[in-house]
Structure 1
């Protein structure tokens, strides 16, 4: 019996999930990229982390991260070179959350991190002003690793 797949932690969910040629010449085939494949590209190529750091953030082994990253690059290349539509959907992931505290009313709750934070608000008073409760002396959160949730 195969071992069940572990969920991969992601910190980013794109607002736009379909990409392709602007001139309408794209072929009918759609390439589906998972959220964790997109996250691997974001961590390696935009954040500049090494594979070990990326694997740690996504809660996977380095070899698993390498497979995810390699597949993501192959899909991007196929989409660009062959003018195919690229669609972001699906996968086996969890969204990173951290314990937040409202700076106005003091309410504590589990808040999403990364780009999802712009939509996050205090469930009690509706304020968008909050911060992580796990911050260390240097201002970096021990829970999510960010300066502010």
Structure 2
């Protein structure tokens, strides 16, 4: 099954704008990024999720460990709508970013071939060198 990789920054931008109903300016400020960066991140996330829903693709959340306590919509750090760190992708804090998790592989779902995952490059963009199928994370 084809996979769409959604970053935690894209997920957070959708959460703030859609679920928290913050304006793009307020959400950008909360994430600690410029409004134009927030707008691009939001659009990319919405395009990816829409592609997955319309075209029957899996959604893979990438970018490190994400803790959503109780699944109550309080965000990746669980502090709620008024206490989020707002650090964005590169802003620091103690949330791991890309490459901070244990090393992972890209796997071919057809033949099982494994390749080391390249940080910043979604596995779904790679083709299996053995059989040519689209790779997946894991």
Give me the TM-score of the superposition, normalised by structure 1: 0.45
Higher Rg: 1
Q: Which has the higher strand share?
A: 1
